[in-house]
Amino acid sequence: MKKLLLTGIFAGLAVGAYAQGAVALDNINNTSSSPTATASGLFFLRTGAAAPVLINQDFNIVFLAGTDSASLSVLASFVGSAASGGNGFGPGTFLDPTGGSYPINGAITTAFFEIQAWTGPATSYAAFLAAAAQGTYGVQSLPFSNPVAVPPTRRRT
């Protein structure tokens, strides 16, 4: 089975939680080079029966988020030209080219995420699934949670 593997997402791409209930979308500080990592993982590509290898090509990625795992919406999408240069910090890495952080409205203690990633020219994960083009690979994670910090209280002087 051809697939792109998402590993360590729990403590990877959605780990940069800020005090305002926002996340940074990157995994450039992740250190595990294991395709079965459950923390600090990277992106891997499996092209058949061979062992997965760190992905070393551009890939499309969509991040979904929300306060309920059953009600996620698109947080950020990097598809086509917006996805180029994704391995700028080495194989298996992803860095948001906008450098931004994204608020998770309503998330006070926990937010939920899902990630769709695929190679090739498809403009959405649904289009990738429909095309099933030779030589393209993709995967969708299961929903997972990530804690967010409670905003600091403002002191009056």
- Name the more confident of 157 and 50: 50
CA-nearest of 34, 33, 32, 12 to 23 is 12
The pair of three-digit structure tokens given for residue 145, joined into one six-digit string: 């949670």
CA-nearest of 41, 34, 32, 55 to 11 is 41
The full set of domain ranges for the chain reads: 2-146
Span 61-109, pLDDT tens digits: 999 999 999 999 999 999 988 888 777 888 999 988 888 888 888 887 7
Q: For residue 22, list its beta bridge partners.
A: 103
Residues 108, 82: Cα–Cα separation, whole Å: 30
The pair of three-digit structure tokens given for residue 62, joined into one six-digit string: 């969509």
The pair of three-digit structure tokens given for residue 119, joined into one six-digit string: 């190679």
The beta-strand segments (E) located in the chain are: 2-6, 16-17, 22-24, 43-47, 53-54, 60-66, 73-78, 101-103, 110-118, 138-140, 144-147
The reported pLDDT for the residue numbered 4 is 57
Residues 157, 152: Cα–Cα separation, whole Å: 15
Cβ neighbours of residue 135 under 8 Å, at least 6 residues apart?
Answer: 119, 120
- Name the more confident of 119 and 18: 119
The reported pLDDT for the residue numbered 1 is 40
Span 128-154, pLDDT tens digits: 999 877 778 898 999 988 877 555 444
